[in-house]
């Protein structure tokens, strides 16, 4: 079992930055591939970023490439999402997930989810 808790969301002006954190409980966190997703009102949950347990295997969705950076600290059981040059369209609830198997871009490939943290970007 892995429990995930996101934090760091908030209200920010367009062009600003935020850093999201996702803290995991459980001894096996370091063995999980982790993903960040987001869900805007009325839309499906969409892939944002992915990172292997080793810290490599980093992939991003096209809309966030060059603006977002995913990283992890296995000693702290934490995965981060540094978001810069934020845009109004980045407004969503952001979730971290621990991946089981399957396509890393699909929410169904993730076995565990946090409760989400709201990010609102004012234009």
- The two most distant CA atoms of the chain are separated, in Å, by 41
DSSP 43: S
Tell which residue, 116, 11, 97, has the closest CA to residue 49: 97
The DSSP line for 86-115 is --GGG-EEEEEEEE-SS-TTSGGGEEEE--
Q: Tokens for 57?
A: 């295997």
Q: What pLDDT shows up at residue 27?
A: 67
| For range 6-29, the mean pLDDT | 94
**pLDDT (tens digit per residue) in 51-104:** 998 889 999 999 999 999 999 999 999 999 999 999 999 999 999 999 998 999
| Token reading at 70 | 């995913």
Closest CA relative to residue 91, chosen from 120, 117, 63: 120
């Amino acid at each position: 079992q892995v429990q995930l808790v996101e934090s760091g969301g908030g209200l920010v002006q367009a062009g600003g930055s935020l850093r999201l954190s996702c803290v995991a409980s459980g001894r096996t966190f370091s063995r999980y591939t982790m993903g960040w997703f987001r869900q805007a009102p009325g839309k499906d949950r969409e892939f944002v970023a992915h990172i292997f347990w080793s810290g490599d295997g980093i992939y991003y969705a096209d809309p966030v490439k060059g603006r977002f950076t995913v990283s992890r600290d296995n000693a702290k059981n934490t995965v981060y999402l540094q978001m810069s040059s934020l845009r109004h369209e980045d407004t969503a609830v952001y979730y971290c997930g621990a991946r089981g198997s399957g396509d890393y871009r699909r929410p169904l490939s993730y076995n565990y989810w946090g409760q989400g943290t709201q990010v609102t970007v004012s234009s």
